[in-house]
Structure 1
Amino acid sequence: MKNRRFPYGYEMVNGYIQPCKDELKVLNQIFSDYIGGKNLKNIAESLTNQKVEYLLGEHGWNKNRIKRIIEDERYLGNDTYPKLISDEIYRQANAIKANRRTTTDCIVHSDNKPFVYVVKCAKCGSKMLHRTDRNKKLSETWYCQNSDCKASVKMNISDVQNKVTMLLNQVIKNPRLAECTYHMKPEFSINIRKAENEISRMLEQLDFDKDDLKNLIFGCAAKKYDEDKSARHITNRLKADFENLSPLSEFQVELFQRTVSQILLASDDTVHIRLKNNNIIRKESDDDECTNSNDTESSQNNTSEARICG
C-alpha cells in the first residue's frame, strides 16, 4: 500500500507545503460527518463509493485512514503545516472518538428488540440509540441520533419498561384514554397535506380547470375519509384490548407491540407512549392522573391535574 508524502489535505507548491483545495473540501467533510454521528467505517465506505482519491489513482479508503486524519494534530497548524481545521472542530471530533472507545452498543435480548427500536426522543422525535458505558459499571444511556438535538437519558431498559407498564396500566384502568376526540382537527398524512397544497396552488391560478380542481377536492376528501375511518377502527380495537385486560404485573411484549407505536424518552427521565392511533399517554407526576394528548376537556376543567401532551 502506498503512503502519502504529506498528510491528506496538503500539497507542495513552489517548495512550500500548502492546503490542497480539492482535498480540503473532503477533509472538512470527514470531520463534519464524524461529529455528525457517522463512524470511521461509514465515512471510509462513502468516500470509496464516491471514488474520492486518497492517492493519485487510488480510491480505496478504510477506517484506519479516517482515524489517522481525525487524530492528526498537524491540521491545527505548526511551523511546517498551515492550519486546516479549527481548534474547536478538532476538539469535538477527538472527544467523540475518545468517548466511542469507552462505549458500545448494549447487548439487547431478542425479546427487547421490538421495544428498543421504537424509542424516540421526546424533544425532537428522532431515534434514540441505546448504549452501555463499560467505564461506568455498565450504566445504560440513550442518545438522540439528531446531531442538532444531542439529548441523552441515563436509564436502563428495565426501568423504561416499568414506566411503560405503568402507563399501560393506567389505560387498562381507564380505556377512555385510548379514545380520539374527533371534534379536534385530525392530523392527516403527508399525502393528504400534499393534496391540500396542490388544491391551494390551483386556486391561486387565474385559469385553473374546474374539472381538475373538482377531481382533486373529491380525491382529497376520499383520502381523509379513509384515514379517519382507519383511525376509528384502530381506536376501537385499542379500547377492546384494554377493556379486556387486568392490570399488568410486568412488561408484556405482545401487548406493547399490539398497542404502542413509539416510546418518547425525555431528558428529565419522563416516559410517554404513543398509541397506535397516535394518542400520546403521559404521566405528569405520582399524584397526577395519566392523560392523553387529545383530552382537552379534562385539561380545561382542571389544568392543575392534567396537561396536554402534543
Structure 2
Amino acid sequence: MAWQRKIPFGYQVQNGRINCHPEEAELVRAIFSRYLLGGSYSQIADEMARQGVRYHQHTAQWNKHMVKRILENERYLGMDGYPQLVTDEEFLAVRLRRGEQNTYAPCPSEIIPIRDKAVCALCGEKMARDTKSRGRPRWRCKNPECGGSVYLDDSIILERVVQKLKVLAHSPECIRLPKAAPASTDALRIENELALCFNRADINPEYMKTLIMAAAAERYAGLNDPTPAHRRALLRQKLELEPENEETLWELFESAVTHVCIGKGGEISLSQKDQKECAS
C-alpha cells in the first residue's frame, strides 16, 4: 500500500498548529544542500534509507520521487502558513539546477524591507510574495480564511510606497514620537505607601528613606530608552530640510513605519507605531 504523508516532510502538527519537526527540518536542509552539491534524486534517497530516516511512520524506504517532491515543495519557503525551512537563494539554486529559471525568482533587495512589513489590508495578516506565475510577483495573504491576493510588479509597489513616504515626509509633525512608558504597578504601590507615610504623625525616617530610594529605582527602571525618540526627532529635522531625499525616506520607513498594508486592488497604505489602522 502506498502511504502518503498528511503534511510535508519536515513539519509536524502540535496543538493544532503546524510547526517544524526539528530532526526532519535538518534533513530537509541536508537534502537541498546535497542536491546542490551534485547529488541525484536516487543518490539522496539511498543516503536517507541507509541512515534509517523514516519518510513517514510506516516505512524507512525512500525513492527518488520522495526527494523530488521535497525539492519542489514551495511550502519550505514559508508558504501557506508553514514555517520557512530553506532560504530563497537555496530554493532558487535548486530550481535553476532543475532548469526552471522562469518559475521562481528571489525577492529583490529593495523589496525585502517592504516584504518584511507587508500585511493584508482586509484582515491584517502578514502577506507573502511569490513569483509562481511565470515570474510575476504576487502578494498573497497568509490567512487561509481571507485568501486575498494581488499581482503587483516590484517597480509599482516600490513607487507606491515611496509616494506614501513622501506624503508623510512633507508632514513631519505627523511622525509619532515613542510614548512614555506608564509607571509600573510596583512604582505606584511604593509611591502610595510613601504618601501614606508622609501623612502619619509617627514618621519613621529610615523607612521613609527606603521607600524614596525604592520609588526612584522603580521609576528609573521604567524609563524609556531615549535613543529611539532622539533619532525620530533628528529624522523630523532632516525631513524638514530634505523631504524627498531617498536615503532619508528609507530611514523614515525603517524608523516610523510598522506595516505596509496592501489592498485587494493593489492599494498601498502605511501604518505607524501606536496606530491601529493603516493610514492612507
Normalising by structure 1, report the TM-score.
Answer: 0.45
